[in-house]
Structure 1
Amino acid sequence: MAKEELQTVKVTQEDVAAAAFRWHIRFWILGALVLALFIYLFSSILLPFVAGMVLAYFLDPVADRLQRLGFSRIAATVLILIAFLIVLVLGLVILIPILASQLTDFIAKLPEYLTQLQGLITSYDPKWIEQRFGVDANSLREGLNSLLTTGFGFLTTVFQSIWSSGIALFSIASLFVVTPVVAFYMLLDWDRMVATVDSWVPRDYVDTVRQLASEINVATAGFVRGQGTLCLVLGLMYAIGLTLTGLKFGVLIGLFAGLISFIPYVGSLTGLVLSVGLAFVQFWPDWLWIVAVAAVFFIGQFIEGNILQPRLVGKSVGLHPVWLMFALFAFGALFGFVGLLIAVPAAAAIAVLVRFAISRYLDSPLYKGHAEAPDGATAHAKSNRSKTKS
């Protein structure tokens, strides 16, 4: 009788735990759907608020460091935001005119460069081309024409989209008015808000939630702060290096290559192809400057892999490049520019939760079977099997 009551109590506890687990799953899924619906409905007005939150998250470690040096939280917040806004305005005042001029000239001269590059590639003897590559010279010329036209057309569209988005972004007065205010209050109350959210977590799960939140923060911070700084440094390096070689549109191509360097090898490879293509048109037949243009990206890759990447990012990101690209495209398509701002923390959160779910599954009886069952349960199962055989 006692064993039957014990088994009944055990089954009841398992049922309660399973029901609680299902309730938690439904609760978090419903919460995620409500949040996604909220972002989708109000994405047109959320940009300054999300930008302010991202800015506060980015600058919170600096505020904490200033507090350790003796500054009050409000003094550290005011000092950081003033310094950041000064640097941002100076950067825009210096870079915007240069980028506008180079982008306009690039689009205007694109057909001319395209014609010159096609003529340069197909200027060799047609018979030599047929013997060397096994293709007809006319077919090669047509293929190159199609490839270059498509490639440069796509590139022009990308540059125009980036530029028009940037103009639209910075022409919104609310972005300059609301974002600093949101960033100020978020940065001022960041630690208090984190403590408040922590106090809302059910006490039975507080350790697990804190661990998951810490892993999400490490992954997000490793990318936003580490990889963001890396992209900025690489963009400046490429822009300065290409400008020193005398390449036209060096600032535009260099900053663009640095901007997309969060995808491994894509930024440097794209910048290399664009720069070398323009270098052939501009410097041919002077091989020295063409090699110098290519060397800018090879040196940049060496510095990135051996100095910048280990110091700025290390192994803390934990986000696969393919998953990151998918998240950027998906959130950008769903929520626009706001989606791009929240794509990285959302991707980090999903990745951490998936790893946590997999670890729980690998440690569960569903995966291990009865190998980890208690001795009494194992003996009871063996006794039942022996009775069945007899």
Structure 2
Amino acid sequence: MSLQRQLLFWLLALAVLVLALVLFRDVLLPFIAALALAYLLDPLADRLERWGLSRLTATIAILCLFLLVFIVGTVLLAPLLSQQLAGLVARLPGDAAKLQALIMERGAPLIERFGGAKLAEDAQSSLGNLVGEATKWAGGLLASLWSGGTAIIGVFSLLVLTPVIAFYLLADWDRMVATVDGWLPLDHRDTIRGLLHEMDVAIAGFLRGQALVCLLLGTFYAIGLSLVGVNFGALIGIISGFLSFIPYVGSLTGLVLSVGVATVQFWPDWTMPLLTLAVFAAGQFIEGNILQPKLVGDSIGVHPVWLMFALLAFGSLFGFVGLLLAVPLAAVIGVLARFLLRQYLASPYYRGRSAPATKTHVEL
């Protein structure tokens, strides 16, 4: 098959995949979640098989343990988080207005001294509009979560379908992998296997490592903010940990929200807001120097900027399903881009027909 036909075939396959995601995105969530769950738990199932259990027994044991931990955690945390979420929704507009008043009380004289009364008035108006819009957006989002919108109903409905689908996927995982491996074109099998192995290492290393990082960070922030005495500290900490799968977004969101709440709560005492800031500084130090190097490292091989773009782009296109697929697809695209760049750097298009081909190392 010519290069043009191969390229046309893969472009058509990509177009069909994208079209399927667009058409079926409303029903894909439990299947994508089950696929991710089976993918993450497959190494554990393989280890239990090496210990003498059958694949079916290992699958049943793993999923039962996973569901038990998930249900117990939900039962223990749901009352606390729902209470704090309701309180945060109710107090957010008032706290935002108080924070705006404090900022203008302290900042207006300084602005007026250097820029005049008109600049101070304009700054107060702009700050009021900004705080009002941000409060309206955040309050609407939290209210929709609290009222039990379709997104949350969809997430909780995963408890019905996801375990069943994950059970069948995990039980047949090795057989499915062997079947797909048998479909690979014989002339390019070794190359494709190498690329798939590189993708597997990147995706598995990031997902397993980052999931543990998010869990540990969320626990640390929730305990730390609760010990400091910040209102809704457990909720803010868990939100920060959950959002930590987006680089910098989780910690920045939690920092702004918690310091704002602490400032309004303890004003004019600056001790508690500074302690709140110290909690996030300690969390960032632990994440950057211990958790990320030990648990994640450079496994995904994707720049954080590209990762953030992928999360926003796929989330915008496919909703929550896009967020689930963003990191794996970003890793896949990164592996393919590096492979294509290596091929280009070793080709006559780059080196010229008279230049000898040499091994080229590529980093993106």
Do both share a fold (TM > 0.5)?
yes
Q: Following the alignment from structure 1 to structure 2, what is the Cα–Cα distance between the partners of residues 226 and 142?
A: 45
Q: TM-score, normalised by structure 1?
A: 0.85
1:243 to 221, 226, 234: 226
Q: TM-score, normalised by structure 2?
A: 0.90
- 2: CA distance, partners of 1:160 / 1:318: 38
In structure 2, the partner of 1:388 is none
Question: 1:339 matched to which residue of 2?
Answer: 322
Specify the alignment match of 2:334 in structure 1: 351
- Answering whether residue 152 of structure 2 is matched by residue 167 of structure 1, we say yes
Aligned to 1:228: 211
Q: Helix, strand or coil for the counterpart of 2:203? A: helix
For 1:181, the aligned partner's letter is V
Question: Which residue of the partner structure matches residue 304 of structure 2?
Answer: 321
Structure 1 counterpart of 2:166, one-letter code: A
Counterpart secondary structure, 1:44 = coil
Task: Provide the residue aligned with 1:380 in structure 2.
Answer: none
- The one-letter code of the counterpart of 1:130 is E
Q: What is the number of residues matched between the two proteins?
A: 354
Three-state SS of the structure 1 residue aligned to 2:32 is helix
Equivalent residue, structure 2, for 1:113: 95
| Matching residue of 1:187 | 170
Alpha-carbon offset, residue 126 of structure 1: 4.8
Render the CA deviation track for 1:114-151: whole Å, top value 9, x for unaligned: 22112222224854442267673322322221222223
1:300 aligned residue: 283
Between the aligned partners of 1:28 and 1:156, the Cα distance in structure 2 is: 45
- For 1:377, the equivalent position in structure 2 comes to none
Equivalent pair of 2:246/2:311 in contact (CA under 8 Å): no
AA partner of residue 44 (structure 1): D
Say if 1:37 and 1:125 are closer, same or farther in 2 by CA, change over 3 A. Answer: closer
Deviation per residue, 1:351-389 (Å, 9 max, x gap):
111111111011001111123369xxxxxxxxxxxxxxx
Q: Which has the larger radius of gyration?
A: 1
Structure 1 portions without partners, runs of 5+: 1-18, 375-390
Output the CA distance in 1 between the equivalents of 2:145 and 2:245: 17
Q: Which is further off, 215-224 or 262-271? A: 262-271
Amino acid in structure 2 at the alignment position of 1:210? R
Task: Establish whether residue 91 from structure 1 lines up as the match of residue 73 from structure 2.
Answer: yes
Q: What is the alpha-carbon distance in structure 2 between the residues aligned to residue 236 and residue 166 of structure 1?
A: 24
**Is residue 34–residue 162 contact of structure 2 (8 Å, CA) maintained in 1?**
yes
CA contact 1:219–1:318 (8 Å) conserved in 2: yes
- Supply the AA of the counterpart residue of 2:103: I
- Report SS of the residue matched to 2:105: coil
SS of 2:182 mapped into structure 1:
helix
The answer (yes or no) to whether the contact 2:93–2:139 under 8 Å persists in 1 is no
1:202 to 153, 163, 185: 185
Are 1:141 and 2:124 matched, yes or no? yes
Q: For residue 239 of structure 2, what is the aligned residue in structure 1?
A: 256
Partners of 2:217 and 2:151 in 1: CA distance: 20
Name which of structure 1's ranges 129-138 and 248-257 shifts more when overlaid on structure 2.
129-138
Q: Is the 8 A contact 1:257 1:267 kept in 2?
A: yes
Structure 2 gap ranges (5+): 358-364
Contact 1:319 1:351 in 2 (8 A): yes
Is 2:248 the partner of 1:265? Answer: yes
Q: Distance in 1 between matches of 2:239 and 2:152?
A: 16
Residues 127 and 332 (structure 1 numbering): CA distance in 2 closer, same or farther, change over 3 Å? Answer: closer
Match status 1:71 vs 2:57: no
Counterpart of 2:217 in 1: which secondary structure? helix
Do the aligned partners of 1:219 and 1:319 also contact (CA within 8 Å) in 2? no
More deviation, 224-233/61-70: 61-70
Query: Aligned partners of 1:134, 1:225: CA distance in 2, in Å?
Result: 55
Counterpart for residue 274 of structure 1: 257
SS at match of 1:371: coil
CA distance in 2, matches of 1:248, 1:360: 56
The 5 Å alignment of 1:145-156 reads 145-156=128-139
**Equivalent residues of 1:256, 1:271 under 8 A apart:** yes
**3-state SS in 2 of match to 1:260:** helix
Contact 2:95 2:261 in 1 (8 A): yes
Q: Percent of pairs identical after alignment? A: 53
Return the offset for 1:106: 1.2
